[in-house]
Amino acid sequence: MFRSVGFGLWLVLMVADAIHAEDAVVENVVFAIHGGIGLDKAEMTPEIDKRVRAELEQALRAGFAALNKPNAVGLDAVEAAIRLMEDSPQFNAGRGAVFTHDGRNELDASIMEGKTFKAGSVAGVTTVKNPITAARAVMEKSKHVLLVSRGAEAFAAEKGLEIVDPKYFRTEERWQQLQKQLDEEKKRGQGLRVESQETAVVPQRHLTGFSFGTVGAVALDKAGNLSAGTSTGGMSNKRWGRVGDSPIIGAGTYADNEACAVSATGHGEYFIRYSVAHDIVALMKYKGLTVNAAADEVIRKKLKMAGGEGGVICLDHKGRFYPSYNTEGMYRGCITYDGQVQVRIFEN
């Protein structure tokens, strides 16, 4: 008796889950972005809600405008929108990035083109104003894929990109966020003790009151090509040159014209270990899953079971947009070919 009630309940939940997944697919999308996993519902205020939505809409429109310029490629839209969010002190990318344990802002970014499988990334940069532009320069102007730290900074300077004093990235709010974490660590007596991979870095969304997160974008251009990009300051209080998933092709970013474009946000250690972005593409390509089924399989099943918090935005080659996350919400938005904007946080 209990067994069949239990089974019935399970069935209802599974069906509800499937409906939720199908409901959230948006058709005819050409460009979409995310601004990280952000706050829990209880922490959200009408003022923050308004600010997030306005910033996301502005970035969406910037990407859309770039996409509609003559001869534009999807990478132009990805770069334009992410640059805007890097320049905004609200996001954990570029100016407004979180701080490392040592009080520095170390930035990571990547970009990928789904037609050619070309990709570029930078990690741990402290002087490049727009890391997404540096990532694109690595892809288009070097024979490498991933450049780190001083070398990446020297490359960016050599290619004429804008270089700034590391202080440019500092915001008081992120600094206070670090101080709070250091205090908490001291109280718990953790200091330099090495923890396990699961607990080494606390996802920064639990520690911030007002700022949004990592940023990312996916585009489908007029030639039918997909592209994706992601930019972040990583996780607050990160140590020892820690690099997350955002600059790792296949983990935080991936694009394949035959499947979809993916940009991720969340606890990077898990996204690297589970090759999240590429896993979604592989499920579509080799198993024939739809974009929503593939994304949910990885984010809401595999990753959730492993304890990895986060989400992805995905855009397939038919213009079907799907965000999947295992947190309460994810800041995200999309725009259709005729300019209809949709911005969401907690709702499907």
Instruction: Tell me how far, at minimum, the Cβ of 191 lies from ligand ASP, in Å.
Output: 22
Q: Does the footprint of ligand ASP cover residue 36 (CB under 6 A)? A: yes
By beta-carbon proximity to ligand ASP, the closer residue of 109 and 284 is 109
Q: Does the footprint of ligand ASP cover residue 137 (CB under 6 A)? A: no
Instruction: Tell me how far, at minimum, the Cβ of 209 lies from ligand ASP, in Å.
Output: 15
The dihedral region occupied by 71, where left means phi > 0, alpha psi between -120 and 50, and beta the remainder, is left
233: closest CA among 270, 208, 259, 198? 208
Among 63, 114, 120, 266, binds ligand ASP (CB under 6 A): 266
Q: Does the footprint of ligand ASP cover residue 248 (CB under 6 A)? A: no
Instruction: Tell me how far, at minimum, the Cβ of 238 lies from ligand ASP, in Å.
Output: 7
Cα distances (angstroms) measured from residue 155 to each of 216, 229, 247: 23, 19, 16
Q: Does the footprint of ligand ASP cover residue 268 (CB under 6 A)? A: yes
Residues in contact with ligand ASP, counted by CB under 6 A, come to a total of: 14
Work out the end-to-end distance of the chain between its first and last CA atoms, rounded to an integer number of angstroms: 34
Instruction: Tell me how far, at minimum, the Cβ of 230 lies from ligand ASP, in Å.
Output: 8
204: closest CA among 42, 345, 91, 55? 91
Q: Does the footprint of ligand ASP cover residue 234 (CB under 6 A)? A: yes
Three-state helix/strand/coil letters over 166-218: HHHHCCHHHHHHHHHHHHHHHHHCCCCCCCCCCCCCCCHHHCCCCCCCCEEEE
By beta-carbon proximity to ligand ASP, the closer residue of 100 and 290 is 100
Which one is catalytic: 214, 230, 253, 327?
A: 214
Site string for ligand ASP, 188-227 (x = CB under 6 A): ----------------x--------xx-------------
CA distance 35 to 17: 24
Respond yes or no: is residue 214 known to be catalytic: yes
Instruction: Tell me how far, at minimum, the Cβ of 70 lies from ligand ASP, in Å.
Output: 34
Greatest CA separation found in the chain?
A: 72
CB 111 within 8 A of CB 75: yes
Residues that bind ligand ASP (CB under 6 A): 36, 204, 213-214, 232, 234-235, 244-246, 252, 265-266, 268
Which residues are the active-site residues? Answer: 214
